[in-house]
A = this chain, B = another copy of it.
Amino acid sequence: MDSCVIPLRHGGLSLVQTTDFFYPLVEDPYMMGRIACANVLSDLYAMGITECDNMLMLLSVSQKMNEKERDQVMPLMMKGFRDAAEEAGTSVTGGQTVVNPWIIVGGVASVVCQPNDFIMPDSAVPGDVLVLTKPLGTQVAVNAHQWLDIPEKWNKIKLVISREEVEQAYQEAMLNMATLNRTAAALMHKFNAHAATDVTGFGIIGHARNLAQQQKNDVAFVIHNLPIISKMAAIVKAGGNLFGLLQGTSSETSGGLLICLPREQAARFCAEMKSSRVGLSGAMGHDGGAGDGQQAWIIGIVEKGNRCARIIDKPRIIEVPYRGSVVSAQEGSNNNASPPEVQLT
């Protein structure tokens, strides 16, 4: 499970907690703070928990930074973390900062829940479909952005992507990583989700396997579609199958939720992700207009099986356009106007 669930001594309540910390992977400290916060909370959201009672922030300041750098970078990182927490309707109370050779940013999210507040990730049944709520390819986008300044790396991929597109893909990846999975968590209850996890360091296939192993029923997950940030598939092909992106092993940071939904609910789940505000308390409830819609894709099916997961040969690659660019958004509208169909047996 993505979070630990501790039964409490008080009337059926449980303490649900999760922690995560890591090293900055993007250059913008404010965005890094937001991403770190979204990533910590994502473990709660994967259990359908939409509220968080408290967050602790864990920071280490790099000893290699001079005082001026620290004074510029750390407050921005903390502000990003706090802003994302506020968007999540929670606040950061407490934490710890130490000095370390590397910058570290992370946190702890805790919530006290009633039994109906969370969905145990173990009830997938054959016939369910798999939905993914963010595109893949964050690792590729972040690395490609670094390669702009490394000629031997850049030369391998420059035939398939322009510098502008790399910049746009990087911005798109940052936006996605900083997006909370909170809407998805709320919709998991509305559409009767059977199980979910969040996609992070082990890639889509690693997390699909972990989720499959936790199921009570004899099920297997089969992934047919890979929604990927536009042009990232081309980059990994040009570079010689980089990171195993097309095999589902490329790490993601603060990725989407992978959710098992009843087949008849999945299309509506995706439509509501895209279209609408959902009834959440906190900042999101006020800000989340129609413009905040997130995409979600039906990417596979649950069939009878041995608690394993696989990607079919030649999965369909869904090119997910960059929202920052009008051209890309138009290009992408063909691919993404409605939840893409999936070969359901």
Contacts and interface: CB of A to CB of B under 8 A. Distances in A.
Given A6-B53, A8-B53, A102-B101, A18 B94 contact: yes
Interface string A45-69: 0000001011010100000000000
A19 B100 contact: no
Contacts of A21: 58, 96, 98
A15 interface: yes
B3 A94 contact: yes
A22 interface: yes
A72 interface: no
Which range holds the interface residue count of chain A? Answer: 35 or more
A160 B138 CA distance: 61
A63 to B, nearest CB: 10
A19 B58 CA distance: 9
Contacts of A11: 10-11
A152 to B, nearest CB: 25
A23 B100 CA distance: 9
B22 A98 contact: yes
Q: Count this chain's copies in the assembly.
A: 2
A19 B59 CA distance: 12
Interface stretch (A105-113, A311-319, A320-328): A105-113
A112 B17 contact: no
A18 B110 CA distance: 12
Contacts of A94: 3-4, 17-19
A18 B112 CA distance: 16
Contacts of A108: 17, 19, 56, 108
Contact of A8 (B17, B95, B102, B112): B112
B93 A98 contact: no
A13 interface: yes
A104 interface: yes
A93 B20 contact: no
A42 to B, nearest CB: 14
A127 B144 CA distance: 67
Given A17-B54, A54-B17, A112-B8, A96 B100 contact: no
Interface string A82-102: 000000000001111010111
A15 B112 CA distance: 8
A56 B17 contact: yes
Interface of A: 3-4, 6, 8-11, 13, 15, 17-23, 51, 53-54, 56, 58, 93-96, 98, 100-102, 104, 106, 108, 110, 112, 114
